[in-house]
Structure 1
Amino acid sequence: MADEFMVYADGGTAASAPSNGVILIPDNLNVIFSANAAEVKYNGLLIKNAKGTMRINNGALTLQQTGFDIAGAQVGMDANYKSTSTKTGLFDFHLTAKEFDIARAYKEIKLFREMASSASKVKGVVGLDYQLSGKLNAEMFPVYPSLKGGGVLSLKKVSLMGFKMMNAVSKATKRDSLTNPDLSDVQIKSTIKNNIITIEQTKMKVAGFRPRFEGQVSFDGRLNLSGRLGLPPFGLFGIPLSITGTQEKPIVKLKRNKEGKLEETGENK
């Protein structure tokens, strides 16, 4: 178990010792070896069939061409990790997954669940190609305000049953066919910085309509999106949209969004 290598994993030797801490990498090692682990348990997460090249040098850990199974999906990853104290660390990784079940990932992966809280009722298959860096706390979990990165989420075949934002768009535009839509072949490009996810213009096809969206979503669920609902048959004419409020209570207005950007709350402002 990776958790057992964390500082104070056993509660320390003194009564006053802290109860947690990051994994410390020795400064005096310079080794390269092939890793092959049937199971790795880390922060309540079960990683299976992990294989790749691991290098330890100057107190840093590097993983290259690492493959593993998580939540039933095959994942590829390159990553770097270094402790900066007994309770803090730095990381960066590039992760790719051609296909994974979004409902299973939401259930089993805490980081995914907390960063994509609106996906609680989404079902289907998606792909991911994302790069992320940031700080780790004493529980070896990312410090959200420090996260920076970007990449692509590919919706292979997804059902947005109960997705409140799309249902609010359906109600505002009086187009019932937009309620609980099924999507496929949608590429969502985004970047992350200072607790804000910025989404590039994303185009979809739903029941003859051609909606598109772009804007920002905060980690606490605030929305600041603009869009257009392209009308059949070709989407040449459309209805402008602005979407504000929160993921739980989206506010849709049939006009262009002229509001400013969401307020950033991170440490890199």
Structure 2
Amino acid sequence: MKEAYPVIPGAEAFYYEGSEIGILLCHGFIGTPQSVKYIGEAFAREGYTVSAPRLTGHGTHDQDLANCLFSEWYLTLEKAYLELKERCTTIYVIGQSMGGTLTLNLASHYRDIDGVLLINPAMHIPAIASYQNLSPAEYIQEGTPDIKNPDAAEITYTKVPAHAYHQLFDGMEMVKKRLSFVHCPITCFQSTTDHVVPPENTDYILQAVQSELRSKHVLTNSYHVASMDYDNEKIISESLQFIEQLTASIHLKKVSL
């Protein structure tokens, strides 16, 4: 779909040129690339090529979400992945919240993804299940972003069309059925206190995927938008370690062939 409104300053997609190892970042529902920019910049400083697309209908105006489909959000991520693949030989995908849902969908279709990292990924959100009964044209007032750090300010919408939530629900149900197609290494970051997505979502995903290498890191000082919260440095350090170990393993396999 064609967006009718301009991008909010600060909500733009970002890209940093670096090595042949690429990091693809995906923000969450009604969020923007701004929510993952801090960790994206950290990867760029380490020399990685970093890409963070802005999902269709996000970071402009809530009315742009009124006609968006989950498939369009996925296609935004897929397009960014294919573009990054032309530049990089190794690619890791990091997704937060619904960005984790989209990341899992991508990994279920592209077996050559070298690893995925999920931050409070969404697969089932009981607290908002009643939104499914609303008319698609109705709008839902949003609360303050779920961030423990009071100094963090996320760019997001204050109201959202129920249609967008319907797309989110349908998308999560669809991706649930594809989890068994995910085989790449996976690590998850799970906030112990998350007022949006129950932490059990992470455990469900780790049990459902077919990855031989799977792990979880618990975040005790962050809420849902952990990439902007007190534990973001832990996310960065653990992610770098995960990626460096996998990259070394991939290199050894290539040398031995």
TM range (shorter): under 0.3
Q: Per chain length, whose mean CA-contact separation is higher, i.e. which structure has more relative contact order (CA < 8 Å, sep 6+)?
A: 2
* Rg comparison, structure with higher value: 1
Kindly indicate which of the two structures has a greater share of residues assigned to helix.
Answer: 2
TM-score normalised by structure 2 residue count: 0.23
